């Protein structure tokens, strides 16, 4: 493992704490105003192509009480987007808003022609897609033929052909000048809804006594959850959305469903962080779409009382436990398959398929293989909604390699090999015939080798220097907490120091509890899934995050160990 200290950029920020200033500068902030996380600093909605056209059509549907159908995706971004639209439109006075989320095992992703056929039975006047739709050329055409207007809100990268929708609100369409290209699907939906409210205000739709204008900030908890769970880069705009949502959660102004998910995940709502959303709440919500269907997750988010929300959260927790068991088995099976064919030694890209793999968990397993092997990975399972003999894969990439570009290159060079594909720079989905898997696997490895650098394939651990004995305090932990949110693209601080090893013991069968000494200070540390160190080890180089340990009567400092290297 190569440990690299992040370079600190030039500049001076209006930040009192020199440690926080150093961290901000090393993450690319150059001006004091970039540290402002107030809502007034959000990028203007007017930068989004088609937003006014879309908002006018939605406002028309609200005023005329037309039936609106929200078509969502089966992940946390899609679920929060659906809940956001249903709640916000109802708050604006819409009385006929329903939602439909495709069952991934029966219909697959997006506004397909099959989903439009089901939607027709609900007789909507307007369909709004959230977190999908940019690739739904056939589905939009089918809706148009049925006389249903479609507004697409999405953030995925478009293909060569855009659907013929009434309006397409997507910052990643080539003709869109919106500067926050990393915004999640729920963020795009929030922007559209804010402009719908503006449009209704101009039409004098709101009435202080009968139909008050809603404050959309009340729904930022949903925006924060969906943004973090989708692991989009936390650029300044996304940091504002997540920060504002977290503030409201910590103050208790959150949906009962989010409160119930935090409770069942054993997270303190008053100290909730972006990491809690990403590692405790988001996975439980995602489990519904991975193993069952996302309706239970959406109902949890829409629940208007805590008793109902808790019951649904418990159901989600059970699904998440099942998901973890399936995932562990698939990772072990995948590693065995790779060992048998000796692919991990030379291949720059990894592709794995097994008929026992679960379609709903392939993305997580691909992520685990990427982490362990530091290679872009694709995991395939039999397709449940495609033709016989078709397999579906989920890809996860490494920094420095756009996985969608890899798939686009393959599709261009080998026409017909891929049935379909799409996604982001870091994650994508695809499908192909099972008989073509071995051929695809070899081609994938070859194309990755062409497009990736050797440097990108080497495992690196980026740190923010070290902390002095005086900085290893709970005050520093609180300062780091307040300076967030941290996440993808704005990484949580990690530090590296050398320590004397005083003692070690294994806890919970697979975790290592350590007592370390730095100068005259003894400090507790915990290394998760770390085997015991050799008994003769005296000194360690440790990459860690300082954290607060609330076990016992008095909070204490504890180091969360990310990487440990014996020195002697």
pLDDT digits (tens, 9 = 90+) for 490-514: 999 999 999 999 999 999 888 999 9
Phi, psi for 238 (deg, rounded to 5):
-65, -35
CATH 3.90.1640.30 boundaries in the chain: 41-315
Residues of the chain with CATH 3.10.310.30: 342-457
3-state secondary structure of 148: coil
Q: Which residues pair with 391 in a beta bridge?
A: 382, 432
Instruction: Give first-to-last CA distance, the chain, whole Å.
Output: 17
Identify the sign of the CA torsion 39, 43, 44, 48.
Answer: negative
Digit-by-digit pLDDT tens for the chain (568 residues) are 889 999 998 888 989 999 999 999 999 999 999 999 999 999 999 999 999 999 999 999 999 999 999 999 989 999 999 999 999 999 999 999 999 998 777 777 789 999 999 999 999 999 999 999 999 999 999 999 999 999 999 999 898 899 999 999 999 999 999 999 999 999 999 999 999 999 999 999 999 888 999 999 999 999 999 999 999 999 999 999 999 999 999 999 999 999 999 999 999 999 999 999 999 999 999 999 888 889 999 999 999 999 999 999 999 999 999 999 999 999 899 888 887 765 555 789 999 999 999 988 999 999 999 998 999 999 999 987 656 799 999 999 998 999 999 999 999 999 999 998 988 788 899 999 999 999 999 999 999 999 999 888 888 899 999 999 999 999 999 999 999 999 999 999 999 999 999 999 999 888 999 999 998 899 999 999 899 999 999 999 999 999 999 887 899 999 999 999 999 7
One-letter-per-residue 3-state SS of 302-356: HCCCHHHHHHHHHHHHHHHHHHHHHHHHHHHHHHHHHHHHCCCCCCCCEEEECCC
Residue 109 is predicted with a pLDDT of 79
The strand pairing partners of 486, in sequence order, are none
Under CATH, which architecture does the 41-315 domain have? Alpha-Beta Complex (3.90)
- Domain topology for 342-457: Diaminopimelate Epimerase; Chain A, domain 1 (3.10.310)
- Residue 259 DSSP SS3: helix
- The per-residue pLDDT for range 401-412, each reduced to its tens digit, is 999 999 999 999
The tokens describing 223, both together, are 């925006």
> Measuring CA to CA, which residue among 158, 107, 106 is closest to residue 137?
158
Q: Under the phi-then-psi rule, with left for phi > 0, alpha for psi from -120 to 50, and beta for the rest, what region is 465?
A: left
Question: Would you state the pLDDT for residue 10?
Answer: 84
Rounded to 5 degrees, φ, ψ at 56 are: -60, -40
pLDDT (0 to 100) of residue 552: 77
Could you tell me the two tokens for 219? 């729904």
* Chain region(s) in the chain for CATH 2.40.50.460: 2-6+461-566
CATH fold for domain 2-6+461-566:
OB fold (Dihydrolipoamide Acetyltransferase, E2P) (2.40.50)
Q: In what order do the strands lie in the sheet with 350-353?
A: 350-353, 377-382, 390-396, 427-433, 420-423
Instruction: Please give the pLDDT value at position 345.
Output: 57
Reply yes or no: is the peptide bond before residue 485 cis, omega within 30 of 0: yes
Note the pLDDT of residue 388: 78
């Amino acid at each position: 493992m190569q440990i690299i200290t992040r370079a600190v950029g030039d500049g001076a920020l209006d930040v009192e704490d020199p440690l926080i200033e150093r961290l901000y500068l090393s993450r690319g902030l150059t001006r004091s105003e970039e540290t402002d996380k107030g809502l007034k600093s959000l990028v203007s909605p007017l930068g989004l192509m088609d937003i006014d056209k879309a908002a006018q059509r939605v406002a028309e549907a609200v005023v005329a009480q037309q039936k609106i159908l929200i078509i969502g995706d089966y992940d946390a971004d899609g679920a929060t987007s659906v809940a956001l639209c249903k709640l916000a439109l109802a708050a604006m006075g819409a009385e006929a808003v329903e939602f439909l989320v495709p069952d991934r095992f029966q219909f697959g992703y997006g506004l397909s022609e099959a989903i439009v056929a089901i939607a027709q039975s609900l007789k909507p006047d307007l369909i709004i897609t959230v977190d999908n739709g940019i690739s739904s050329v056939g589905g939009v055409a089918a809706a148009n033929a049925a006389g249903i207007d479609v507004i697409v809100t999405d953030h995925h990268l478009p293909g060569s052909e855009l659907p013929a929708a009434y309006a397409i609100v997507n910052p990643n369409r080539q003709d869109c000048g919106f500067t926050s290209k990393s915004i999640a699907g729920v963020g795009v939906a929030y922007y559209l809804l804010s402009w719908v409210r503006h449009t209704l205000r101009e039409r004098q739709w709101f009435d202080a006594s009968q139909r008050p204008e809603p404050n959309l900030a009340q729904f930022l908890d949903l925006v924060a959850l969906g943004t973090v769970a989708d692991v989009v880069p936390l650029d300044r705009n996304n940091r504002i959305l997540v920060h504002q949502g977290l503030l409201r959660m910590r103050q208790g102004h959150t949906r009962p469903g989010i409160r119930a998910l935090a409770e069942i995940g054993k997270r303190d709502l008053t100290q909730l962080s972006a990491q809690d959303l990403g590692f405790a709440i988001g996975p439980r919500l995602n489990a519904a779409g991975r193993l069952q269907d996302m309706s239970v997750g959406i109902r949890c988010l829409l629940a208007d009382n805590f008793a109902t929300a808790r019951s649904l959260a418990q159901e989600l927790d059970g699904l998440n436990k099942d998901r973890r068991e399936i995932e562990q088995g698939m990772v072990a099976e995948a590693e065995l398959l790779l060992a048998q064919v000796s692919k991990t030694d030379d291949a720059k890209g990894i592709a794995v398929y097994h008929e026992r793999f679960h379609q709903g968990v392939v993305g997580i397993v691909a992520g685990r293989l990427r982490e362990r092997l530091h290679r872009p990975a694709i995991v395939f399972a039999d397709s449940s909604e495609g033709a016989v003999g078709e397999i579906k894969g989920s890809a996860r990439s490494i920094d420095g390699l756009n996985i969608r570009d890899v798939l686009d290159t393959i599709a261009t060079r080998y026409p017909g090999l891929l049935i379909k594909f799409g996604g982001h720079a870091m994650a994508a989905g695809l499908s192909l015939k099972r008989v073509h898997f071995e051929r695809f696997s070899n081609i994938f490895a070859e194309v990755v080798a062409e497009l990736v650098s050797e440097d990108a394939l080497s495992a690196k651990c980026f740190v923010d220097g070290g902390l002095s004995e005086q900085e290893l305090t709970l005050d520093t932990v609180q300062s780091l907490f307040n300076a967030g949110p941290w996440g993808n693209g704005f990484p949580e601080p990690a530090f590296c120091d050398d320590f004397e090893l005083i003692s070690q013991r294994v806890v919970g069968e697979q975790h290592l509890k350590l007592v370390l000494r730095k100068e005259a200070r003894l400090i507790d540390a915990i290394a998760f899934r770390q085997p015991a160190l050799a008994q003769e080890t005296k000194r360690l180089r440790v990459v860690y995050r300082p954290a607060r340990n609330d076990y016992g009567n008095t909070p204490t400092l504890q180091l969360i160990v990310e990487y440990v290297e014996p020195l002697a």
